[in-house]
Amino acid sequence: MTAVLDVRDVKKSFGGITAVNGVSFDVQEGEILGLIGPNGCGKSTLFNCILGQLVPSAGEVRVDGKLVTGQRPSDLNRLGVSRTFQLLQVFPKLSVRDNLILAGQEHRGSMLSRLFGPSDAGLTTTADQMIGFFKLEHLANEPAGGLSYGQQKLLDAAMAFMGGPRLVLLDEPAGGVNPTMLGDLKERLIAINRERRATFVVIEHNMEFVMSRVMVMAEGKVLAIGKPDEIRANPAVIEAYLGH
Amino acid sequence: MSRHSKMLLVALAVIVIAGLIIIPMNFNRYGLYILSQWAVMTIAAMGLNLTLGYAGQVSLAQGAFVGIGAYGAAILTTHGWPLISALGLVIVVCFIVGWLLGYPALRVQHHYLAFVTLAFSTLAFLVFRNESWLTNGIYGLSNIPRPEIFGFPTRKPLPFYYLCLGSLGLVTLAMWWLIRSPWGRAFMALRENPIRAQSLGIDTRRYTLMAFAIGSVLGGIAGVLYAPLTQYVDPVPFNLQLSLDLLMMVIVGGSGFMFGPFLGAMIAVLLPEWLRFAEGYYLMLYAAAVIVLLIYSPSGILGILDRYLSSRRTQAASALRAAAQSKLEAAR
């Protein structure tokens, strides 16, 4: 079976510093792969190489078998690859509903047809469903900038799913979220994973976050990859996190 | 927005439109000229508001596009072309030139982009001044005819003012429709967070180029009206000063607000006239008024209104929450 995401020997250097050094892994449909590692180990750089924000110095990235190395983020998104960011990235002046419509509109028709089509790109119903799914109904018309941090995290995650993606890369979705809100977020993500067979790659230090497999990075390389229990017991991983 | 607020807005719009149609009937030639100039400059400022206010791309070239439009209309109509045909050609030329001018914006931003567009503005001015075979150089082009619209001549100031006002109305409707469309949302996303916009599938390259192209077209349309308004064009009005004036109109009125350019152009075109009683001091008063305004409200005049409405919304929401909380406690 073709992997949803296949990363082969990806390298990324900045001058004399190699941030990502020959990383290879794949992710199968419906899987939730956790990506962990000490600060500065190259996780976010790897994400940016996969998502087209950075062009890898070497290596290949394939989505559903199609070579996408160096493609622009907007093209990748239209191929069904979506993401969230470590820091909040909602559009504060737009309402919650408009944020969601914006997140889905580029998947509807061509640029020209969107200009002459309905102002909501026919997405109000879908946006309202997503608002309901993420339990944000009472905030639908509020400007996103007025929401609490946790609510904005939920909105940020909801936006990643408006285009009906096959693969979602989540960068520390639990960061700074209170336990109640985190419970909501986990529940929603698991539901989307099961109901829509969406595949996730998650940068998350909290291993309680539901993961089918975990990949550990250190100094730009893959240190270990396996089930969460195996990773917890792996001496090399413990050493990378705690030092000698 | 509540139904009551919508009704109020519609009523206000009807009163303003009726006022703009009826009151100038009693104006003299000069009054009508100033009002026509306001309408023309508002169209140009609306174009810059799209490029800068909505899409977040700095441009100091809008005055050059007004110049391209004015020279295009002047050259073609003095050679027997109808104004409407000249308008069509100017729209095409400004769209292509504006699109090309957008390319640097894909690589540089902010003050670097401002310098690139400033260079274009200077280049356009040099073409207007030095390419005498086309523009008649510093002597300019005169005897620019005013058009007939559906058989109605606009030679006199009042009909020509109505032509400018009608054009402003059409451009406003088109802009309102554009801003409410998915394109408008994409332009705002481009301004607020281009990296997030890309990750949502928004082709920021195309939208950046489109923002420049459409903004430039509006500059060109303003120029097409400017030429028959003054009936004479020379290079001086289209130097960098015009681009700076248009930038000020957008910032003072309220960058990124639909009606910001209307107010900004009103202040830039009409306020100096109202301050004439101050004689030599009027420019100083004018500059002081602009400085005070921007210190008090960096988001322009409409920014003040926006802040007021936002605070009212917040107060109303807090009151609702408090009422719901007390009901909940009473039920317990």
Per-residue pLDDT of B155-196, as tens digits, reads 999 999 999 999 999 999 999 999 999 999 999 999 999 999
pLDDT of residue B210: 97
Query: By a Cβ cutoff of 8 Å, what residues of chain A touch chain B?
Result: 51, 53, 72-74, 77-78, 82-83, 85, 89-94, 98, 101-103, 105-108, 111, 114-115, 117, 119, 121, 142, 146, 159, 162-163
d(CA B12, CA B7): 9
The confidence score (pLDDT) of residue A208 equals: 65
Distance from CA of A138 to the nearest CA of B (A): 11
Choose among A78, A107, A114: nearest Cβ to B183. A114
pLDDT value of position B222: 98
Q: What is the greatest pairwise CA distance in chain B? A: 87
Nearest-Cα distance to chain B for A91, in Å, is 7
CB contact under 8 A, B189 and A91: yes
**What sign for the dihedral angle of Cα B273, B279, B281, B285?**
negative
Q: Which of B185, B199, B317 sits opposite A73 (nearest CB)?
A: B199
Spatial contact of B260 and B302, defined as CB atoms under 8 Å apart: yes
Which residues of chain A does B193 touch, with a Cβ-Cβ cutoff of 8 Å?
Answer: 89, 91
**What pLDDT does residue A243 have?**
64
Whether A244 has a pLDDT exceeding 60, the answer reads no
Please, are residues B227 and B73 in contact by the beta-carbon 8 Å criterion?
yes
Residues of B with CB under 8 A from a CB of A: 178, 180-183, 185-186, 188-189, 192-193, 195-206, 314, 317
Nearest to A74 among B180, B203, B314 (CB): B203
Show me where the domains of chain A are located.
5-242
**Residue B199, in any domain of the structure:** yes
pLDDT at B53 over 90: yes
Contact status, residue A237 vs residue A217, Cβ threshold 8 Å:
no
B326, part of any domain: no
For residue B218, the enclosing domain spans 30-240
The CA distance from B46 to A66, in Å, is 44
Q: How many domains does chain B have?
A: 1
Residue B43 counted as domain residue? yes
Residue B108 has pLDDT above 80, yes or no: yes
More confident residue, A177 or B257: B257
Q: What is the pLDDT of residue B258?
A: 95
Using CB atoms within 10 Å of the CB of residue B267, give its burial: 0 to 12 exposed, 13 to 18 middle, 19+ buried: buried
Distance CA B325, CA B319 (A): 10
pLDDT of residue B126: 97
| For residue B4, pLDDT beyond 90 | no
Burial B56-95 (b: 16+ CB within 10 A, else e): bbbbbbbbbbbbbbbbbbbbbbbeebebeebbeebbebbb
Q: What pLDDT digit, counting tens, does each position of B62-103 carry?
A: 999 999 999 999 999 999 999 999 999 999 999 999 999 999
For testing the chain A interface, which of B179, B185, B190, B309 should be mutated: the one with the most A CBs within 10 Å? Answer: B185
User: Closest Cα to residue B273, out of B64, B44, B57, B37?
Assistant: B37
The model scores a pTM over 0.80: yes
Domain A5-242, CATH class in plain words: alpha beta
Pairing of strands A66-67, A32-36: unpaired
Query: What is the length of chain B?
Result: 332
On the 0-12 / 13-18 / 19+ scale of CB atoms within 10 A, A4 is buried
Question: Among residues A78, A25, A29, which one has the least CA distance to residue A51?
Answer: A78
Query: Is A91 close to B182, i.e. CB distance below 8 A?
Result: no
Q: What is the largest CA-CA distance in chain A?
A: 63
pLDDT recorded at residue B110: 86
| Bridge partners, A27 (sequence order) | A5
Has residue B268 got a pLDDT over 70? yes
A77 and B198 within 8 Å at the Cβ level: the answer is yes
Q: What is the pLDDT of residues A7-38, one digit of tens each?
A: 999 999 998 899 999 999 999 999 999 999 98
Residue A5 near residue A27, CB atoms below 8 Å: yes
- Is A92–B185 a contact, with Cβ atoms under 8 angstroms apart? no
- How close is the nearest chain B Cα to the Cα of A178, in Å? 22
State how far residue B182 is from chain A, nearest Cα, in angstroms. 6
- Residue A239's pLDDT band (cuts 50, 70, 90): confident
pLDDT tens-digit series, residues B142-160: 999 999 998 999 999 999 9
pLDDT tier at A242, thresholds 50, 70, 90: low
- The partner residue sitting opposite A106, judged by closest CB among B200, B314, B317, is B200
